[in-house]
Structure 1
Amino acid sequence: MKPNKFFLPTSTVWIGKLLAILVFVTLLAGCSSKKDIYYCPMHPHYTSDRPGTCPICNMDLVKKEDPFEHKDHTNASSSLQAAESLSKNEVHLAETSSDGNSKELVLSFEKQQSIGIKTELVSRRNLVKKINAYSSVAYDPELYSALSEYKEAVRSSEFLSPEIIRNLQLRLRQLGLSQDQIKIWTSGARDPSELILGGKSGRAHIYSQIYESDFTTAKVGLPIKFKTDVYPEKEFIGRIKSIDVILDKNNRTLRLRSEVSDPSLLLKPQMFGDATIEVPLQKILSVPTSAILDTGKQKIAYVQTAADRFQAVSVQTGKNIDPWVEILSGLKEEQRVVTESTFLIDSEAKIRFGSDSHTH
């Protein structure tokens, strides 16, 4: 009997099956070793190898499907492409600003709304800085003794050398009295015993401690309000009379001496309380404190250069006058700065531009 020409030997069939099995195993190994990829639907350029949230918008990351594994995932693939297209339309980079100096971030109006961006003008404002100072009713035997000695020396000046009187006066200056205050205390208008026995003639003397950072702000003549827990409903109003000339090296503070109205003589020596000093500041170039980002190396703000463009600029700040901060340099009047979602814009700029996203 002649062999059928269509009949394959048994060994050939087994070899074919073995090859098919090897190919299948190879495909399975490749699929099992492949890592999952997760992406942000709003920022598809951000990917991760594990579930989590997007650092830009805090949305949950979505697993990226492999089209070769599931042929019926056409809709997921098209959604990813649509999200990528939307992101490219909403957020893209401008390598240089209109002045050609630094990079800009471009955000569509819809994108600005979605992350909650708000802006405000850089303006000159009339502000009031409040300084809160730990205070007490004066009890100062050292100053009392120095004033008494000086008064006695002035009365006996014909028997004393001018150098002795100058030295006594220098001691009073070291204790914080100005020349005008020395004249007042030694002319009879003030009785030095008020410093150890309490106020007279409807006034009380208040000592307050302010930090050296507030020294340039506090001035003689500014109004002061003193309150104590002993009389929680009362507020004693007065003015700063003098400021010490020597800084306390231990706690970096200066002492203020004030006089407040106390017609009922309620305040007693060494009674504790808090003083509030209100300092009017005229036409201060300022922005909300939320507009400033402190990177550790510099402070930056994001200026809106056009309806859809934002640029990071380095700024120098001055006094903090909550909720405002003084601008010394880096911003100009009538510029518009981001005051809300500043951190989100900065994160977006860092992801897209890298570490050089800030102007230096």
Structure 2
Amino acid sequence: MKTLIERSKTSKILFLISSLLIFTVLFSCGKAKDIYYCPMHPTYTSDRPGTCPICNMDLVKKEDHADHSSGSDHASHELNPNGSEFDSSPEANSNEDLSLSFEKQQSIGIKTDIAKVRNLTKQFRAYSNVAYDPELYTALTEYKESVRSSAALAEFGSGLNIRNLQLRLQQLGLSQEQIRVWTSGGRDPSELILGGKGGRAHIYSQIYESDLSFAKPGLSVIFKTDAYPDQEFKGKIKSVDTILDKNTRTLRLRSEVSDPSHLLKPQMFGEVLVQIQVPHVLSIPSSAILDTGTRKIVYTQIGPDKFRAIEIETGRIIDPWTEIKSGLKTEERVVTESTFLLDSEAKIRFGSKTHSH
């Protein structure tokens, strides 16, 4: 009898333990687990805090993207850091707006700036040398001789020869006006092989095709050489060659600088500095732009804790600024630092949809 009672008690205990275990399992399954991810490697996730095994960066808890609306029918207005109002009305919000707490923004180092019209200065330096150009000298002297004898040799078709020589000079970088100056006695072609005369020197520079839109005849230049480190030789761009070097992706820039003491000698090396004023340009810091290969994206801050991906069209790059042709308006605030981390967070929450604007 006693054995039966003990067995009954044991069965009851086992039943209670089994029920407790089943309840615990069911409760654990019903509770959503926290997910932690690496901001730099968002494909790595974990169910507990820790560090990324790839970059050793602290894992960040993935937050549910819930729409915490106030239930009010009227728009609320919040001030952004520059004193103007964020538009947080329902019409201004999107299902793909990214919410980040202030603490999280600080932890990943988000910084912002505004799109505004700026007066910018484009500056570039070009490897240069004092001209020594026997090829151009020969072409000029041949053209001068052909023009001089054209009247006497008209019946032999010298007119065609002159046109061919003109084409050759244009291929070597001279404009029609420069051809006229060099061959009418205004300039002596021997300067190209013996050095400048009349207090002038010719400078050849190599500029990259990315700077071609800025380099125009008439712009001021400053030539400096290690031979005379304390002196600046100022002048102007005279012409830009028409044929691009396919190997170096450069064009030759021809300038003329003042050299009253005839210090500059043929093939002397130096550097040309060109500065161009570019006024009234709608621009943002270049660091704000994410180039996906097919489009360019910026993240705008539309509220203290809300960000939105916007596709833009860019123009000229005037470091550290980039011209904005479309997609942004003045005074809109864009993320300029930790943009990649913000984009990674958006991809985790929304997938590739964040770049579909």
- Cα distance in 2, alignment partners of residues 42 and 53 from structure 1: 8
The residue identity in structure 1 corresponding to 2:130 is V
- Can you list the C-alpha shifts for 1:150-195, whole angstroms capped at 9, x where unaligned? 2222222321333332222222112110011111112222111110
Distance 1:298 1:253 in 2: 27
* 2:138 maps to which of 123, 140, 145: 145
The CA distance in 2 between the partners of 1:349 and 1:206, in whole Å, is 52
Paired residues for 1:207-286 under 5 Å = 207-286=204-283
Alignment of 1:157 with 2:150, yes or no, is: yes
SS in 1 for 2:3: coil
Asked whether the equivalents of residues 40 and 60 of structure 1 are also in contact (C-alpha less than 8 Å), the reply is no
Taking the aligned partners of 2:37 and 2:327, their CA distance within structure 1 comes to 36
AA at the equivalent of 1:107: L
For 1:332 and 1:315, how far apart are their aligned partners in 2? 11
Q: Shift of residue 92 of structure 1?
A: 4.7
Could you give the per-residue CA deviations for residues 79-100 of structure 1, whole angstroms, max 9, x where no partner exists? Answer: xxxx99xx66xx7568997357
1:217 deviates by 1.8
Residues 163 and 268 (structure 1), Cα distance of their counterparts in 2 relative to 1, 3 Å cut: same
Q: Is the 8 A contact 2:298 2:312 kept in 1?
A: yes
Distance between the aligned counterparts of 2:102 and 2:50, measured in 1?
Answer: 27
User: Per the alignment, in what secondary structure is the counterpart of residue 340 of structure 2?
Assistant: helix
Q: Match for residue 128 of structure 1?
A: 121
Q: Give the count of matched residue pairs.
A: 314
Partners in 2 of 1:94 and 1:317 — Cα distance?
35
For each residue in 1:309-335, what CA deviation from the matched residue of structure 2 results, as whole angstroms up to 9, or x when unmatched?
211011222222111111222222222
- Give the whole-Å Cα distance in 2 for the aligned partners of 1:186 and 1:59: 69
* RMSD, aligned CA: 3.7
| Counterpart residue type for residue 347 of structure 1 | S
**Unaligned stretches of 5+ in structure 1?**
32-36, 63-82
CA distance, structure 1, for counterparts of residue 151 and residue 37 of structure 2: 93
* Aligned equivalent of 1:119: 112
* Deviation of the 1:224 alpha carbon: 1.4
Instruction: State the TM-score, normalized to the length of structure 1.
Output: 0.75
Specify the SS of the correspondent of 2:151: helix
Change (3 A) 1:311 1:201: same
Asked whether 1:166 is paired with 2:163, we answer yes
What SS does the corresponding residue of 1:136 show, helix, strand or coil?
strand
Amino acid of the residue matched to residue 266 of structure 2?
P
SS in 2 for 1:168: helix
Q: How does 1:323-334 map to 2 (within 5 A)?
A: 323-334=320-331
Q: Determine helix, strand or coil for the equivalent of 1:159.
A: coil
Per mean C-alpha deviation after superposition, the further-off stretch among 112-121 and 290-299 is 112-121
Tell me what 1:307 maps to: 304
> Which residue type is aligned with residue 105 of structure 1?
L
Contact 2:223–2:234 (Cα < 8 Å) also in 1: yes
- Give the alignment of 1:105-116 within 5 angstroms: 105-116=98-109
The whole-number CA distance in structure 1 between the counterparts of 2:338 and 2:272 is 36
SS of the equivalent of 2:343 reads helix
Give unmatched runs, 5+ long, in structure 2. 26-32, 70-88
Query: Comparing 258-267 with 338-347, which one deviates more in the overlay?
Result: 338-347
Distance 2:138 2:185 in 1: 16
Distance 2:214 2:68 in 1: 43
1:208 shift after superposition: 1.0
CA distance in 1, matches of 2:256, 2:327: 41
Return closer, same or farther for 1:344/1:93 CA change in 2, 3 Å cut-off. Answer: farther
Question: What amino acid does structure 2 have at the position aligned with 1:254?
Answer: L
Q: Which has the larger radius of gyration?
A: 1
2:36 and 2:49 in contact (8 A); partners too:
no
Looking at structure 1, the residues matched to 164 and 37 of structure 2 have their Cα atoms a distance apart, in angstroms, of 79
Map of 1:69-108 to 2, 5 A cutoff? 92=66, 98-99=91-92, 103-108=96-101
Structure 1 residues 93, 299: CA separation in 2 closer, same or farther (over 3 Å shift)? Answer: farther
Q: How far apart in 1 are the matches of 2:242 and 2:57?
A: 57
Amino acid at match of 1:48: S
Q: In the alignment, which residue of structure 2 is the partner of 1:8?
A: 3
